[in-house]
Structure 1
Amino acid sequence: MSILNPQGAKWKRSLFADLLLTALIDAFSILVIFLLMNFSSTGEILFINKGVELPSATQADILEHNTVVRYDEGKFFIENKEMADQNAMIQELLDTRKEWATTHPDEEFRGILTIQADKKTKYESLNSIVLAMAHAGFGEIRFAVVTK
């Protein structure tokens, strides 16, 4: 302890700790802003399985939240739930439509379906999705694409 300044070393340590804390808070604030700017999006984020390459498009709309049907390695998934056959797909789409009607009673059902499939997928493979959506009352198809 110093005779001239009884708080001497303790005062210097607390000032140094305050400076470190201020710099740390600034660094975390910058990091949070950076992460918010990079991960904010206006559309829905689709999870694409490894090895699946979406078709590319020069013009595309911003993705809205719709029912997503995924075709991957010969299997169909509606909202990540695997479907056994076309009848199961129709039933799941009908259930989705009923659920939408109960959660949005004042809005008209738009019937938009987003199909996510590899760009090498043949139309014959997607035909059962189109037939199922027609039976369930979905009238508009949108494909998940990557913009150029």
Structure 2
Amino acid sequence: MPIVTPGKRPAKRFEKSKILGGKIQRGKKATNTELNVIPMVDMMTMLVIFLLQQFSSTGEVLYMQKDIQLPDARHGQTIEIAPVVAISGSQIVVTGEKVADVADLDRDSGYLNIPGLEERLRDEKKRWEYLHQNDVEKKWDGQVNIQADKGVPFRIVKRVMYSCGVAGYFSLNFATLDLGGAEAQQKAPGAG
């Protein structure tokens, strides 16, 4: 049985009839409809422009939190993508997940390690190893970016550094604000 387009059809005895067969044939509409692609093209153009404006060629390595004021530095390097340990006045966060409260760490000052931080960093290391298990050229470098507030006591930063080392992260990078470029412009001749 052949495949036919849906719609009204005359009975077999009326197909050749000039009266009833022709009536149904004349009322038949074309099945080819055109799709208006102009709104779709406009929307895709807007999306492409939006995504291009949001694109960063260097990538966002650190998310600046409101409650963290970074110290200033005159000489530094750009940091690479690695897990971020953010230490604010109230909590310690690893890649967006809270692992400890600073007030709790002040109370139990007997130990240097922070178990929640170590566990989260080990999970990050396992995830990295799983992602790069087939890439022989990529070696584990053990980098972690520490983003600490100016007002956080050093004993807390020391405990974070110790916990990072225990978890297998031996290359610590501290995030600072670049002050070298601003002073160089002020000291330049003709900059008044």
TM-score by length of 2: 0.54
Which segments of structure 1 move beyond 3 Å, counting only runs of 4 or more?
A: 35-39
Cα separation, 2, equivalents of 1:111 and 1:50: 27
- Aligned 8 A contact 2:118 2:163 in 1: yes
**What is the alpha-carbon root mean square deviation over aligned residues?**
2.4
- Looking at structure 1, the residues matched to 57 and 117 of structure 2 have their Cα atoms a distance apart, in angstroms, of 30
For residue 74 of structure 2, what is the aligned residue in structure 1? 58
CA deviation string 1:5-62 (max 9, x = no partner): xxxxxxxxxxxxxxxxxxxx9xx99xx49x9578634143422222421111112212
Aligned twin of 1:4: none
Partner SS state of residue 145, structure 2: strand
Matches within 5 A, 1:105-116: 105=133, 106=136, 107-116=138-147
Deviations 1:44-94 (A, max 9, x none): 342222242111111221221101001112311110101147111111111
Q: Find the partner of 1:103 among 131, 135, 158.
A: 131
Q: In 2 relative to 1, CA 78–51 (structure 1 residues): closer, same or farther, beyond 3 Å?
A: closer
Match of residue 121, structure 2, among 93, 97, 121: 93
- What residue ranges of structure 1 are gaps of 5+ in the alignment? 1-24
Residues paired across the two proteins, number? 119
> 2:56 and 2:154 mapped to 1: Cα distance?
34
> Share of identical aligned residues, percent?
27
Point out which structure has higher relative CO (alpha carbons under 8 A, 6+ apart): 1
Question: Larger radius of gyration, structure 1 or 2?
Answer: 2
Richer in strand (by share): 1
State the distance in 2 between where 1:119 and 1:36 align.
35
Residue identity in the other structure for 1:88: G
